[in-house]
């Protein structure tokens, strides 16, 4: 009986975690889309709103513990690299925000691909690409 209760708890916890990361990542994806539309449709407010969305979720990925919790067992030793991609994502977003403040849209738009690269760098580890 005890074993069943413990297994159920583990399953529920794992399920919740999986859900959290999926919904957080959906917010990241929405933010990236909003950012891209902002550049395409000449709407800097939309770019900033995209930056805000991504940054909010990314903030929760900055601790070793939180990243480790969603990495598959065999990838946990790579936590340092995923941490770096989350940090680099943050600095690219901040640089983009600064350029937009200064109305330097070309420089800001050039960072879009760096942001995408930061997302992909972490996914590559998680997914074994």
Q: How far apart are CA 9 and CA 17, in angstroms?
A: 12
Q: Are 98 and 90 in contact (CB under 8 A)?
A: no
Q: Does 123 bind ligand HEC (CB under 6 A)?
A: yes
Q: Does 61 bind ligand HEC (CB under 6 A)?
A: yes
Q: Which of 21, 78, 81, 95 binds ligand HEC (CB under 6 A)?
A: 21
Q: Which of 45, 101, 104, 127 binds ligand HEC (CB under 6 A)?
A: 127
CA dist 87 → 3, 37, 64, 72, 121 (Å)? 40, 24, 12, 20, 12
Q: How far apart are CA 57 and CA 5, in angstroms?
A: 32
- Complex with ligand HEC: residue 75 or 107, whichever CB lies closer: 75
Which residues of this chain interact with ligand HEC, rule CB under 6 A?
A: 21-22, 25, 28-29, 32, 54, 61, 67, 70, 82, 85-86, 89, 115, 118-119, 122-123, 126-127
């Amino acid at each position: 009986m005890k074993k069943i209760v413990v297994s159920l708890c583990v399953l529920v916890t794992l399920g919740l975690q999986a859900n959290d990361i999926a919904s957080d990542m959906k917010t990241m994806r929405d933010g990236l889309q909003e950012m891209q539309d902002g550049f395409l449709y000449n709407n800097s407010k939309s770019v900033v709103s995209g930056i805000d969305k991504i940054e909010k979720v990314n903030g929760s990925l900055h601790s070793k513990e939180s990243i480790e919790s969603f990495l598959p067992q065999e990838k946990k030793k790579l936590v340092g690299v995923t941490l770096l991609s989350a940090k680099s994502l943050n600095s690219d977003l901040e640089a983009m925000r600064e350029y937009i403040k200064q109305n330097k849209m070309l420089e800001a738009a050039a960072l879009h691909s760096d942001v995408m690269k930061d997302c992909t760098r972490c996914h590559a580890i998680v997914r074994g690409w």
